[in-house]
Chain A
Amino acid sequence: MKFFNFHLMPYRHADLDAIERNGSAWVTFSNRHYDPQQGAGLYHEYLDQMEYADRLGFDGVCLNEHHQTAYGMMPIPGVLAGALARSVKRAKLAILGRALPLLNNPLMVAEEYAMLDNLTRGRFIAGFVRGIGAEYHAMGVNPTHSQDRFAEAHDLIVRAWTEPGPFQYVGKHYHFNYVNPWPRPWQSPHPPIWIPSQGSASTIRWAAQKRYTYAQTLSPIAVVARFFQMYRDEAEKAGYQASSDQLAWSNTIYVAETDAKAMREARPHLEALTNRFLKMPTEMLLPPGYSNIETIKRVRAVKVTGKPQTLDDLVKNGVVIVGSPSTVREKLAEYQDLAGFNTSLTKTQFGTLPDDMTRANMAAIAEEILPHFRDRLPQGAQQAAAE
């Protein structure tokens, strides 16, 4: 299994009570709460952690994009990827991803990603997402155009990487007389494309058809397993057998000497992530047209945005893995076999977790977990299916 250190770069000094009073850390949570002194410190702290992950032997580091929120300080992930392109010496560098529909000019992502692919001499992984619903409030982009713009921007970027320019592109949302980006990507035909999603059936089908790596975001492991099975089924319909390398699970892992200590230490920080940084009302998460009406009805019916979750819920449902080294190894192996993935996108920092605890966690994962999984593939049913 491959391990990527996935950072959300939260503004971990945020006033959690103020977030609670505002109802969300997104869109309407005033940036008066952002202190540039502290924020600058966090950027360097987090970039140092990414470089540390490289030295510890993680296979890659991941950035992502969110706007106008204390949940993550990466509205323009390419800035941080640029900073890491030279200091992360060995590991892959992934942006998971840029939110294509928010862009008025997706050619700039073709350029930005090609630059990063050149800078890293082919260690770059290109993620494309739609962005979550809150982004459409924050950036003034029509959520009913989201799926169309994503499809169009993706097609434009891949063509820009693979077809000799200049050529003309005329879509519904994007129009260019000259598509001819310099530089071209370092990898051929282009950097690997990864598609993180919350589990939309149409996205899973599309990713499987394109043979793009599918990354499942923050979900209970049983749900992850179901979505990964959908991917394998769709691959089969498309005429090939999906490999476990095409499936990545986005999780959180915290390791300490004992289960009790790990739970005690992780609890406030993970609960801050889930119940403060991540919380938002349904109308912010799902603006009209962002998803189809059936999805909106399903989400509203389970009231996912309302319930506070305890660490015990998160552990029990297999959203996160927290415990002693042996517990974490056991759970991770169980989940790998259940869901059949071969990449773990792991948040080692989460919520309000401070630097010293993050680095201890990273070191523990590198020493106690990584070596045991280095050559491990999904066992049992998934393995049989893949053979």
Chain B
Amino acid sequence: MSRRLFVATFEREQDILAVTGAVRQHNWNILDIYSPYAVHGLDKKMGLPPSRLPWVCFALGLVGASAKVGFEYWASWLDWPVNVGGKPWDSLPAFVPLTFEIMVLFAGVSTVMALFIVSRLFPGKKPQLISPRVTNDQFALVFEHTGGNVDIDEVHHLLKSYNAVGIEERVA
């Protein structure tokens, strides 16, 4: 069975925030919202769970730091020990700055790469725009009417009451 999708466009931040709450109250399934900027608080209204990317950041930071400190010990104590000014082989304090730098490097770069992978962003990808204005000044709400009969008038009435400037039905 094909799904009936509604695409409603709005021009103001407070409308998109309010309508998202209202659509959720009707238990209609919000597929996504397209907006020109990160509207503050919209994720709560949409009921999105917090992103799990901080775990990537933490894990790769840990990997970077431990790999680096391990490598420093291995290279300057085991593989080719060089006595520099009689400094001890176990120079942990002197290894701290580099360990920190590599931790930041690993954590930062891998988190951004993880973002690009989970959001399927890659160079040269053809954008699938819901409306040409969503990167400029328009907000688009895409939702699916779930549960039995679709009362088109009810949907239109609700969206209009939140100043929807365009309502479209698409079959996906």
A-B complex is real = no
* B residues in contact (CB < 8 Å) with A: none
Instruction: List A residues at the B interface (Cβ < 8 Å).
Output: none
